[in-house]
Structure 1
Amino acid sequence: METQLLHRGRLIDHIQLVVADLKASRAFYEAVFDVLKMPIGGEAEDYFWVDELFVSSKDSQAATGELTGRHHLAFQAADRAMVDAFYAAGLAAGGTDHGAPGERPYHPGYYAAFLLDPDGNNIEAVYHGAHERSAPSVEIRF
């Protein structure tokens, strides 16, 4: 068996969204993750994944035949321009406006944009202002 290497964040191991139209979701997420510089990690007939996010059809073996419902997912952006580009790419790929790019009152420097994906999930890109990452990721080898 080939050695596998996974990178995981510091809090969330993974998230799965079960969607009604996998093709429409793939177009949306591929567009916004391209802007966020996160490549598609892999795919199969009934799912694909990007980093810790798995998106599958309701017929996928990983799903239980039910859509997951509506969720809010926020992804880190490197700067304000990346938030702006995320918003434009998501709209062009079938997303719906849910909050144009701009500062939010959550804390000083919080700059974000919100889109609804094809299933109505609230997808955000956020730049928290100048910062330094404490760790890039957790590596898991098996």
Structure 2
Amino acid sequence: MSEISLSERLGRRLKSTGQVLATAESCTGGGVSAAITDIAGSSEWFDRAFITYSNNAKMEMLGVKAETLDSHGAVSEAVAREMVLGALANSQATMAVSISGIAGPGGGSETKPVGTVCFGWADNLGWEKIKTYHFKGDRSQIRQQAVETALKVLYEKLDDSAC
């Protein structure tokens, strides 16, 4: 499944279900929103992107708590959850995805090696999915895998909801 075709399918599904998406991205630096806005007409189902690379941006734009960052670190499921809920709260979206990870080549540790990426997905009806993935490859490959994972889980959620 290519990124563009997945984006197109996701867009059709969002539009047909009346959903509107927002993104909150850190390590992907807007890669998910770029994949989405590459699709003509995406303004019908995409509201906005929060690119919150710094911890201050996460706190200011999404309401991530300093205590959460201090306790868990920026690359954590707790922060991914606060990011996705903040994206929903600070947008007109009905669904959102968040991503925070270590794309490398530096920045990894024994407990959080390069390739560790935490995601949050949520909608305004109370559905939440928070998950950590461990991707392999260089910086570009890790970021690409993160973008594809973000889109795929959204598409699968909407596909399951349509059944």
Compute the TM-score of the two structures, normalised by the length of structure 1: 0.34
Bigger Rg, which one: 1
Higher helix share: 2
Which one has more relative contact order, counting CA pairs under 8 Å at least 6 apart? Answer: 1
Higher strand share: 1
Compute the TM-score of the two structures, normalised by the length of structure 2: 0.31
